[in-house]
Chains A and B, each alone.
Chain A
Amino acid sequence: MLDIKNIHASINGKEVLKGLNLTFRPGEVHAIMGPNGSGKSTLAKVVAGHPEYQVTEGEIEYEVNFRKKDLKAMEAYERAREGIFLAFQYPVEVPGVSNIHLLHSAFNMVCKHQGVEEMSQGEFRKFIEKKCEMLELKPQFLDRSVNEGFSGGEKKKNEILQMAVLNPRVAVLDETDSGLDIDALKIVAGGINRLKNQENCIVLITHYQRLLQYVVPDYVHILSDGKIIKTGDKALALKLEEEGYDWLIKS
């Protein structure tokens, strides 16, 4: 459903992605691993449509209901409404905007765009409180300002809550495991597993193997210097954990 072909992307004139190829199909879980500075977060931002990243070469083809779309031609919000989701490594604070207001507005916007019936405030509250239970978040959490004063764990859980609300087709989770203690990691992983289905594709960008113990990937890709240098299954992640990246990069 998402076909990334020979993507070159730069920020402030510096090329970060240098001919990257990846294909994501429905029902799959992908893990993208790689050393610091290899281009993992850039890939996430390019897929989501960050305006500061320039795609200088290559294609990103997005297929929905047998219709192909050129993702590059769409703005970030259009991609979001079409089912592309990015969970941020560092979720941004939006002071004064309550979490439930953001979630409800976003939900209705996506519903409207996709031709699905919108939800009233009351209905939405019930719907979202169930999702909160899944992530062991108290209902009061919904009335706080978006990410303001949240703990690291709460911020990451909130990203998954937003994912649950937006119900994306392609979800790119950028280092969602970083900064989580083991309990929070298990809860977040549980949430991701619940949201995983045959219609969507989950892309886990991570530096470590530990999240992959709980959310088992079908494919593990190694990104280095802006390119995928190796693809394997979950065993590859384990090998990386033990031996580091050196053996791959040197060879």
Chain B
Amino acid sequence: MANQELATTNFQSLLETVLPFSGKVEASYRLNGLKNFSFPTKKEDDWRYSPTKSISGLKIESFHGKTFEDVLAPASTRDAIEVVFVNGFYSEKLSKLKGLYPDVRISIFKKALEENKIQPLEEKWFRALNQAFFENGVYLEIQKEVRLKTPIVIRHLTNTKARNFMASPRVFVRVLPFSSAEIVEIFEDGSTGEYFVNDICDFEVFPGAQIHHLRILNSSERSTHTGHMRFEMYRDSELNSCVLSTGGALSRTQVDVVLKEQGAQANLSGLNLLADVRKTENHVSVVHAAEGTISRQEFKSILTGSSHGVFQGKVNILPVAQKSVSEQLNKNLILGDKAHVDTKPQLDVGADDVKATHGATVGQLDPEEVFYLQTRGFSPGQSKSLICRGFALSILDTIKSKWICENVKNWLEQSVSTYTEGV
């Protein structure tokens, strides 16, 4: 208990003491919103393997980077709508919204909140932290029966000079009935200094709608990121979501899916390429709350050096969710002597007529596989790279959107090549 209080106090006092932008009064006001929540400790299931102390010990001097001047020009993606955030602030100026209207409505999240279009959900400390500190945010609404031809890229940038700041980007996407959209979130940094991103991106997918989603976390090794996504899925809606991460000081992603109505489906996948001392965590929670709902999970990691990966996947099939299907798989390839993985698939089944499987593998390279490739002329190094490449690139099979797959392929191939060079 003492530890918990200490952690909370440390974090809050840090926030309170140095707030050059908004001032102490506003900071205290914002922090009031956090009072009902307690800072997580290792006693909590979700945080058992997490370095809570390294988060509470972060040096945070402002709510955001001080200047926006030296932001790297956003690398824009061809044929895509771009929604750009800088240090957690939505920047309309840097965004490329052509092609958005009339199929998509965009507004400031704060405004949508004031207009009661959204009910914020803060059940946890870090979500509450974002709620207290986000500045503007974005609310996107894909209109009814729209097959959105132009994909939406949400780009989160940090400027190169900013240090020791906390960014709180906030996005809400509502997909109205029978529409479909492709949404890619990219977190990249210009800053190589320490900073903290605590983002929320929530989705509400209405009946018969379909969403293809990809999140790329390509941050520096000194960055700390806690990300939260929540998908509420209504009747016969479909979600395909993939998270690719190269880790950071900590890169923690929480994905909560609620399959609220009959026939809703979620296909979740993820790949982590971890080197040195980087750390990534995938926390997934899927609740089957209606009959005939389907969820599939496939999360993979390759670890070199002293890197650390965590997978915690919870599937909860409620008594009403008869005839549901749930599959969960976590595969880890450990290449570093000091690298390690904590994996904890969890299945809680309340209904009796369901199909549910789960499993996890943690292993090193299979020597027979290496030998097989050697007999085809590949040197030991080449064989290992090829196996890693295969292990990593097979994640593309889980991405059903052709556009996303084609656009991410080059980046992924390049990342995998760079990554496997040192293997």
Binding site for B on A (CB under 8 A): 48-52, 75-77, 79-81, 85-86, 88, 91-97, 102, 105-106, 109-110, 113, 145-146, 162, 166
Q: Are B390 and A110 in contact (CB under 8 A)?
A: no
Which chain A residues border B387 with CB–CB below 8 Å?
94, 97
Interface residues of B in 190-215 (CB under 8 A from A): none
Q: Are B377 and A80 in contact (CB under 8 A)?
A: yes
Which chain B residues border A77 with CB–CB below 8 Å?
374-375, 377-380, 382-383
Interface residues of B in 271-317 (CB under 8 A from A): none
A230 CA to B387 CA in the complex, in Å? 42
With beta carbons under 8 angstroms apart, the residue of B371, B372, B376, B382 that contacts A51 is B371
One of B97-105, B111-119, B391-399 contacting the partner: B391-399
Q: Are A145 and B377 in contact (CB under 8 A)?
A: no
Q: Are B375 and A86 in contact (CB under 8 A)?
A: yes
A52 CA to B366 CA in the complex, in Å? 13
With beta carbons under 8 angstroms apart, the residue of A76, A96, A113, A146 that contacts B375 is A76
Which chain B residues border A166 with CB–CB below 8 Å?
376-377
Give per-residue flags for B212-235: 1 if the beta carbon is below 8 A from chain A beta carbons, else 0.
000000000000000000000000
Q: Are B390 and A162 in contact (CB under 8 A)?
A: no
Besides the known contacts A75-B379, A96-B391, A145-B394, 4 further A-B residue pairs in the complex with CB atoms under 8 A apart = A51-B371, A95-B391, A96-B394, A102-B376
B422 within 8 A of A: no
Which chain A residues border B140 with CB–CB below 8 Å?
none
Q: Are A96 and B389 in contact (CB under 8 A)?
A: yes
With beta carbons under 8 angstroms apart, the residue of B372, B378, B379, B393 that contacts A88 is B372
Q: How far is the CB of B333 from chain A (nearest CB, A)?
A: 11
A75 CA to B380 CA in the complex, in Å? 9
A145 CA to B389 CA in the complex, in Å? 12
Q: How far is the CB of B187 from chain A (nearest CB, A)?
A: 25
Give per-residue flags for B355-382: 1 if the beta carbon is below 8 A from chain A beta carbons, else 0.
0000000000011110111111111101
Of chain B, the residue at the smallest CB distance from A97 is: B390
A54 CA to B407 CA in the complex, in Å? 48
Which chain B residues border A105 with CB–CB below 8 Å?
378, 386
Q: How far is the CB of A163 from chain B (nearest CB, A)?
A: 10
Given contacts A52-B367, A145-B394, contact A94 B375 (CB under 8 A): no
Which chain B residues border A162 with CB–CB below 8 Å?
376
Given contacts A95-B390, A97-B386, contact A106 B372 (CB under 8 A): no
With beta carbons under 8 angstroms apart, the residue of B369, B376, B389 that contacts A106 is B376
Of chain B, the residue at the smallest CB distance from A51 is: B371
Q: Are A49 and B374 in contact (CB under 8 A)?
A: yes
Given contacts A77-B379, A80-B376, A102-B376, contact A94 B390 (CB under 8 A): yes
With beta carbons under 8 angstroms apart, the residue of A80, A91, A102 that contacts B374 is A80
Q: How far is the CB of A94 from chain B (nearest CB, A)?
A: 6
Q: How far is the CB of B397 from chain A (nearest CB, A)?
A: 8
A244 CA to B250 CA in the complex, in Å? 65
Q: Are A109 and B371 in contact (CB under 8 A)?
A: no
Binding site for A on B (CB under 8 A): 366-369, 371-380, 382-383, 386-387, 389-394
Which chain B residues border A52 with CB–CB below 8 Å?
367
A109 CA to B386 CA in the complex, in Å? 14
Main secondary structure of the interface of A (DSSP, over half): mixed
Q: Are B390 and A92 in contact (CB under 8 A)?
A: no
Q: Are A81 and B389 in contact (CB under 8 A)?
A: no
Which chain B residues border A79 with CB–CB below 8 Å?
375
Which chain A residues border B375 with CB–CB below 8 Å?
48-49, 76-77, 79-80, 85-86, 88
A145 CA to B369 CA in the complex, in Å? 13
Q: How far is the CB of B381 from chain A (nearest CB, A)?
A: 10
A226 CA to B379 CA in the complex, in Å? 30
15 contacts between A and B (CB under 8 A): A51-B371, A75-B379, A77-B375, A77-B379, A77-B383, A80-B375, A80-B376, A85-B375, A92-B371, A94-B372, A94-B387, A95-B390, A102-B386, A109-B377, A145-B390
Which chain B residues border A109 with CB–CB below 8 Å?
377-378
A81 CA to B390 CA in the complex, in Å? 22
A166 CA to B374 CA in the complex, in Å? 13
Q: Are B369 and A92 in contact (CB under 8 A)?
A: yes
Q: How far is the CB of A251 from chain B (nearest CB, A)?
A: 36
Which chain B residues border A110 with CB–CB below 8 Å?
377
The 8 closest A-B pairs by CB, nearest first: A96-B390, A96-B394, A97-B390, A76-B374, A92-B372, A80-B377, A77-B374, A106-B376
Pick from B369, B371, B389 the residue with the most CB of A within 10 Å: B371
With beta carbons under 8 angstroms apart, the residue of B367, B374, B379, B393 that contacts A96 is B393
Pick from A92, A93, A94, A110 the residue with the most CB of B within 10 Å: A94
A95 CA to B392 CA in the complex, in Å? 9
A166 CA to B378 CA in the complex, in Å? 12
Of chain A, the residue at the smallest CB distance from B373 is: A94
Q: How far is the CB of B394 from chain A (nearest CB, A)?
A: 3
Q: How far is the CB of A104 from chain B (nearest CB, A)?
A: 11
Which chain B residues border A94 with CB–CB below 8 Å?
369, 372-373, 386-387, 390
Of chain A, the residue at the smallest CB distance from B388 is: A96
Which chain A residues border B371 with CB–CB below 8 Å?
50-51, 76, 92
Which chain B residues border A86 with CB–CB below 8 Å?
375
Which chain B residues border A102 with CB–CB below 8 Å?
373, 376, 386
Q: How far is the CB of A88 from chain B (nearest CB, A)?
A: 7
Given contacts A88-B372, A91-B372, contact A96 B377 (CB under 8 A): no
Q: How far is the CB of A52 from chain B (nearest CB, A)?
A: 7
Q: Are B378 and A95 in contact (CB under 8 A)?
A: no
Which chain A residues border B374 with CB–CB below 8 Å?
49, 75-77, 80
Which chain B residues border A96 with CB–CB below 8 Å?
389-394
Which chain B residues border A97 with CB–CB below 8 Å?
386-387, 389-390
Which chain A residues border B389 with CB–CB below 8 Å?
96-97
